[in-house]
Chains A and B, each alone.
Chain A
Amino acid sequence: MSPVFYLVAALTLGGALTAVVLKNTVHCALALTAAFAGLALLFLGLDAQFAGFAQILVYIGAVAILVVFAILLTRGSETPQGSVYSRYSISGLVAAAAVFAVLGWAVLQSAHMLPNEQAVPMADVHDIGVALMGRYVLPLEILAVLLTAATIGAVIVALHEKEDAK
């Protein structure tokens, strides 16, 4: 593995770890953005240019901004007093460690069976567009409906209700 991979993986994992341990929620959102950027770089390193740039546009451009908006709208920008972890944090940590142990064991046990093709796949935007408009057109349409429904649903859920309307 190249040193670039280790650097990018360290950026991703460090950003993710910082995002879940910091006290101040705004700092968590910033660290989350770093993790998303590292993931986009990992995608680019895997020759998935379209997915990498989609990751930047969707996650850094939209999801991170949404998270920051939600933090500021819920006045979560002040550093909370006392513990930021829930009462069941020990069992949560144990569950996460167990999941990682099982996943890592499974990956390492099956390492010799995994495919390892070294040829760089050709997947430019043209191929992806043809596939989206051809074989995957039905999922694409369903996804368009889902995104519309989710946007309308999010607006309705977060819509401000007047006090006297209740």
Chain B
Amino acid sequence: MTPLTAHLLVAALLFAIGLAGALTRRNAILVLIGIELMLNAANLNFIAFWRYSPHPEALTGMMFAIFSIAVAAAEAAVGLGLVIAIHRQLHTTDLDHMNRMKG
């Protein structure tokens, strides 16, 4: 197995774990954790492809990963702010109880 294949398999497994977490957990914060894991798996793919590409000096994959890290940080801030706001309204973070869109 080449190093790139090994890294891609690790990233695929990480993505599947994150997806399973996002789809199966009831707590909204745990769903956000799952989404963060999926974003991190994508970052690992970018870095691995950059490392083993024929033209790493173009820095394309590295730049993609750095921008993706920043966007994921913004997403985490807004997502957790939303969870706190919903908790203030409904006094729960259980997604099975968040079934109406009216505030």
Instruction: Tally A-B pairs: CB < 8 A.
Output: 249
A116-B4, A147-B74, A157-B85 given; A19·B65 CB < 8 A: no
- A34-54: CB near B (< 8 Å → 1, else 0) gives 011001001100111011001
| Chain B residues positioned under 8 Å from A25 (CB to CB) | 27, 29-30
Chief secondary structure at chain A's binding surface: helix
Interface residues of B (CB under 8 A from A): 1-10, 12-27, 29-30, 32-34, 36-37, 40, 43-44, 47-54, 56-57, 59, 62-63, 65-67, 69-78, 80-85, 87-88, 93, 95-96
Least Cβ distance of B88 to chain A in Å? 7
Q: Contact at A58–B69, with CB atoms within 8 Å?
A: yes
Q: Contact at B33–A19, with CB atoms within 8 Å?
A: yes
| Chain A residues positioned under 8 Å from B93 (CB to CB) | 74, 76
Cβ-neighbour of A117 out of B1, B54, B72 (below 8 A): B54
| Chain B residues positioned under 8 Å from A16 (CB to CB) | 14, 17-18, 21, 37
A50-B62, A76-B27 given; A158·B85 CB < 8 A: yes
Q: Contact at A63–B36, with CB atoms within 8 Å?
A: yes
| Chain A residues positioned under 8 Å from B71 (CB to CB) | 143, 146
Least Cβ distance of A69 to chain B in Å? 7
Least Cβ distance of B77 to chain A in Å? 4
Which residues, 118 to 141 on A, are CB-close (under 8 Å) to B?
Answer: 121-123, 127-128, 131-132, 136, 139
| Chain B residues positioned under 8 Å from A1 (CB to CB) | 1, 3, 6
Question: What separation, in Å, do the CA atoms of A6 and B75 have in the docked complex?
Answer: 30
